[in-house]
A and B are shown apart, each in its own frame.
Chain A
Amino acid sequence: MYGTGLIKGLAVTMKNMVLPGRFFTHHQYPNRKIGLLGLAKASGTNVISYVIRQPAMAAKALVGMAEVEDRFPQHPRFRGEEFAWYEERCTGCASCAKYCPLGIIRIVTHPSGQDTLEGDKYSIDVFDIDIGRCMFCGLCVEACPYDAIHMGSGFEQGTYRRSELVLDVDKLRKAPKRPSTWFRPQIEARHYRPQDGEQATWREVARHEKPAVEQQEKRWAKR
C-alpha cells in the first residue's frame, strides 16, 4: 500500500541479483566463462600459485575471456537423439517399425539361416530411422522384445541437410552406443551413466543371458 508494494518489489529484484545461488538453472553451453577463482578451484590450487604457474590463462580470466567446457547435467533416463542399435541382438522382427506412431522406421530384411531353432534371425538390409520426423517418444524402444534398440543420450545431431538426418543401417552400426536407461531397468540397475562417455556392449544391455542350446532345444525344438 501507498508505495510500499513497489519498494518491496525492488527489494525482491535486488535480492535475486545479489544473493549467490540464485542462478541455479543457468548454463552456458558449450563453453562457460570462468573467472580466476573458478580456475584456481578447478585446478585444485589457490589463486596465487595458479597465477604463478599459468599467468597467461590467469590474465585471460581476469579480463573475462577464459572459457571452460560445460556439460549440461543430464539424467541417464534422458531420451536423446542418437539411437543405440545393437545388431548382435536385433532379429529384424520390425516390432519397432510397427509400433512407431509416425512410421519413420523402415526395415527390409532377408532370412539369414542363423538361430533357426528360435525362428531364424533375419539379416538386416535396410534399417532407416528418420530422426528429422522422429518425436523421440520411445515407443520403438518399448516395443523391442530383444532390447536391441535403445534411446540415445545425445542431442547434437544437427546436420546441414534434411536427408542426412536419416540414420541408415551403417550410421547405426558405427554410432557410439551410449544407451539411455529409459525403459531399460537392467541398464539402470548397473548404474550405467551414458553421459560419462563409456559405451555399453551388447551383452551389458541384456535383460537376461541367451539360453544355452540344450535349453533351447528343450523349449522349442522338442515340442
Chain B
Amino acid sequence: METVHLAGFLDFKSIYDFFDGFLPEGLDWLAFALAGGSLAFLVINTVVMATALNTWFERRAIGRFQARLGPNRWGPFGLLQPIADILKLITKEDIIPEDADRPVFTVAPIVLLVPVLLVVAVVPFGEDSFLGRLNVGLLFIVGVTSLGAIAIFMGGWASRNKYAMLGAMRGVAMLVSYEVPMALAMTGVVLVSGSLALFDIVQAQNVPFLLVQPLGFLVFLAAASAEMSRTPFDQIEAESELGSGYHTEYSSIKFAIFQLAEFMAPVVTAIIVTTLFLSGTRGFSPVPGQFWFVGKVVAVVFLMLWFRATWPRLRVDQIMGFAWKGLFALAILNLFLVAVEVQWLQDSDGDLSTDAMWLMAGINWAVTVVSVVVLANVLGQRRIQRREPVPSPLANMDAEAD
C-alpha cells in the first residue's frame, strides 16, 4: 500500500535554505535562528491549537457519554469555548504563596510543558519529521518524557504545602514506576522493527503492530495513561481525596500551563501510539497519509476519553501493585515472546516478512488472552467472588419469636 503524502515543505532544511537564500553571507547563524524560530513557532502553535481542540472534543464527548451536551454556546458548536477558558484563566489573580520557592514555583509548569512539546519534533509526519531523521528517536522520546516527573515534584515542593507535597510525591512514585513497563513495551516494538528511528518503525509496519503485538499495545496504553495521570490512574488529582495534588497552589497562567500540559499529553501520547503501533502515516491512497495520521490520532484520543468517561479510579496502592505486579510481568512476557519469535522468524538479512508478522499476530493474540486471564486470577480474582448471603442469626425478623 503506497501512501500519498502532502507536500513536505515544512521541514527544517527547506526553511533554512529559504532564509539562507536571501540573507547575505556570513550570517548563517541568523538563518539558523530564523529557521528554528519560525518552525518552532509554527509547530508549537499547531500543537497548542490541537490541544485547545482536544479540550473542546473532550468536554463535548464526555458530555455526550453522560447523556448531556457539552458546551455548545460560544461559537459554532462551542468551538470558541477553549478561548473563553483561556481568557478566564488569564484574567485570574496570579497568587504565589509567601513561603513558596519562587523560581522553582514559576518554572515548574514550563518544565512540565516542554518535554511534551519536544516529542512532536521527532515524530515522522509525512515523509520525515520536522527536524529530519533522528536515529535514536525512540530513545529521545523515552528520555524526554521522563522529565515530567521532575516538574510534578518541583510543583509540589515549591508550594510549601503539606498536602500538595504528599500528592506530588505520590505522583512521582506513580510516574516512575510506570515508566518501566512503558519502556519495555517500546522495546518490543524496537525488536520487531529493528531500529530506534521512528521513521523506520513506521516503514516496518506492513502489518500494524497493534495486531502483531497486542500485549505490547495494551501495556503501553495502560502505562501511558498512568504517565499522563488519566483515569483510571488519576489518584493524584482526585478532588475528592485529601491532597489536591501538586497544582493546589497554582492559579492563573501557571495553572493554565499545567492544564495545557495535561491536555496536550493525551494528544502527544496518541501521536506516539499511532507511530509505534498503528503504522503512523501509512494508509490507503488516494487519501494522503497525513489525513490517516490525524484520523488515527483522533481515534486513540477518543479511546482514552472513553476509558476516562466510564471507569472509576484505582486506589494508590492498587495503582502501584498494578504497575509492578501486572504490567511489569506482562511487559517482560511480551518482550520475551517477541524476542523468541523474531529470532525464529527472521530471514537471512534480519528482516521480517509480512507473512511472518501475521503468524506472530496470531500467536501473540492467543498469548495475550491467556496471560490476561492467568494474571487476573493470580492477582486475586477469586477474592472478589461474591458468596451467597446468609441471614445472620443475631436478628432475623423471619425467625421464630422466643
Contact = CB atoms under 8 A, between A and B. Distances in A.
- Establish whether A and B are touching in the complex (CB under 8 Å): yes
Contacts of B67: 16, 22-23, 25-26
Binding site secondary structure of chain B: helix
A26 B68 CA distance: 6
B69 A2 contact: no
A14 interface: yes
Contacts, number: 48
B372 A17 contact: no
Contacts of A17: 61, 64-65
Nearest to A28: B69
Interface string A1-18: 111001001101110110
Contacts of B377: 2
B76 A64 contact: yes
Contact of A26 (B61, B69, B77): B69
Contacts of A22: 67
A2 B381 contact: yes
B373 interface: yes
A221 interface: no
Contacts of A16: 65-67
A93 to B, nearest CB: 48
Interface residues of A, number: 20
A33 interface: yes
A189 interface: no
Interface string B18-30: 0000000000000
Interface in A1-52: 1-3, 6, 9-10, 12-14, 16-17, 22-23, 25-26, 28, 33
A60 to B, nearest CB: 9
B378 to A, nearest CB: 11
A2 B376 contact: yes
Interface stretch (B135-143, B176-184, B190-198, B306-314): B306-314
A63 interface: yes
12 contacts: A6-B311, A10-B307, A10-B310, A16-B66, A17-B64, A17-B65, A23-B69, A25-B67, A26-B69, A28-B69, A64-B78, A65-B76
Interface of B: 61, 64-69, 72-73, 75-78, 306-307, 309-311, 372-373, 376-377, 381
Interface of A: 1-3, 6, 9-10, 12-14, 16-17, 22-23, 25-26, 28, 33, 63-65
The list of the 4 closest CB pairs from A to B, nearest first, reads A64-B77, A63-B76, A13-B310, A64-B76
